[in-house]
Structure 1
Amino acid sequence: MKRDFKDLTDRETDRIIEMAWEDRTPFEAIELQFGLPEKDVIRLMRRELKPNSWRLWRERAHQVSHKHLKKRSDDIGRFKCTLQRQITLNKISKR
């Protein structure tokens, strides 16, 4: 299910940017969830970020070896926030 990044909603775009900034989130996870391959994520980030933020993100994405599942060591598992159980659709449920 390939998608064009220009067809994304603002909410989807924000979530992709958030996932791309996270060190533990691989590009494959973004592709699985949103149908955007790495090259389209890079194009989206270039379009949406300020030039300085783009350079910082690109340098960081190059330095982080676990942004690709194939390069990731077996020691790195899936990150789970302690509050994740209480989060539904990115909203904290009422307690």
Structure 2
Amino acid sequence: MKKLKELSEIDKNRVIEMAWEDRTPFDAILVQFDLTEKETITLMRREMKPSSFKMWRKRVQGRSTKHKAKAANDLSRFRCSLQKTISSNKISKR
């Protein structure tokens, strides 16, 4: 668990944010932060209140979008399809 100790507070917050997002698979966290699903769960358990962790864990367990192997074949991206058109937190007119 050495990797967890090496993460900055900003990185920990980003991992938690990504873990809370329904459409961000654990594989994306692995690619960006080199944390496995088990390490991500450990981080969430350490950094969150027990009630928040239990709520998150119940929601995530078995969710197909969080596990690439269970996800639909068309779910191959880590970001929103509109991300390129976003500027200053407002979606550009099309």
Instruction: Calculate the TM-score normalised by the size of structure 1.
Output: 0.79
Structure 1 runs of 4+ with >3 Å offset: 75-79
Identical aligned pairs, as a percentage?
47
Unaligned runs of at least 5 residues, structure 2: 90-94
Correspondence for 1:80: 80
- For this pair of structures, how many residues does the alignment match? 87
Supply the distance in 1 between the matched residues of 2:74 and 2:30 (Cα, whole angstroms).
Answer: 23
TM-aligned CA deviation for residue 64 of structure 1: 1.6
Does residue 28 (structure 1) correspond to residue 30 (structure 2)? The answer is: no
Say if 2:4 is the partner of 1:18: no
Q: Give the TM-score of the pair, scaled to structure 2.
A: 0.80
Superposed, which structure 2 residues align to 1:62-77 within 5 Å? 62-76=61-75
Please, which runs of 5 or more residues in structure 1 have no aligned partner?
none
